[in-house]
Amino acid sequence: MTRIAVIGGGRIGEALVAGLLEAGRATKDLVVAEQMPARAKELAQEFGVRVTTVADAAEGADVIVVAVKPGDVDAVMSALSEVELDAEREQLLVSLVAGIPTSRYEPKLPAGFPVIRVMPNTPMLVGEGMSVLAPGRYVKDAHLDLVRDVLQSVGKVVTVAENQMDAVTAVSGSGPAYFFLVVEAMVDAAVGLGLARKTATEIVVQTMIGSAAMLDRSNEDAHELRAAVTSPAGTTSAALRVLEQNGLRSAFIEALHAAKDRSAQQGVTNE
């Protein structure tokens, strides 16, 4: 089995570990590097995996997953410099770090060492993640196949050119937060209409689940499905008119552009 070292025990690292275990990956095939003692203990107790240092975790790993904050990448690469890495042994590094290009990693690794950049999102925690891959210069088809196989166990996977990754970060990487904000707003509005918060939450969440399932399983796109729900001069039409008048569509356009710009900035300011 593929031995996977997850460097970083934060939200994304935890989501990946939890998702892989839920998908049937054995604990012996996973190791986590986490420098905060309290967090390391928490992860070991919750998931039953070995939690250790960066160098120890990477030693002998087939896939080294870097899942830290952008500002911590240099410290991770410094620790990896102490490890005897070998590109010819088909080891590879997978970066889940927002905004950091593969070119940041490649010069600090052995010549020809393959690096794959991934934009994940937290729904991988429940096996419904969206992971977008971008291969570095030395990546072979076999490397992509391996990473796809790992990440498909926690959701869907697509591949794009690396120059599209900042846009991907804005859409799917940050996307769950937009979704949760909409849910928050709908629940608050429902409470304002007189529903109990627990009832409102159940109604809104199931409405979102059902709507997403329709999008996933239907041959119709979002525009067509929305139109099918919207009767002329009906309740849905009245609500959508208010949302459009208040700039919902333009707000999302501006928000995603802001997220894309911030992702690009992270890749520059952390050089």
Which residue, 94, 118, 104, is CA-closest to 268? 104
Burial of 197 (0-12, 13-18, 19+ CB in 10 A): exposed
Cα gap 165→136, rounded to integer Å: 12
95 vs 268, which has greater pLDDT? Answer: 95
pLDDT tens readout for residues 86-131: 656 678 999 999 889 999 999 999 888 999 999 999 898 888 999 9
Mean pLDDT across 251-268: 90
Whether 152 contacts 97, CB under 8 Å: no
Which H helix or E strand runs over 210? helix 197-217
Q: How far is CA 28 from CA 83, 215, 222, in A?
A: 20, 38, 43
Whole-prediction pTM: 0.87
What's the pLDDT at 153?
85
Lowest mean pLDDT among 59-63, 84-88, 105-109, 179-183: 84-88
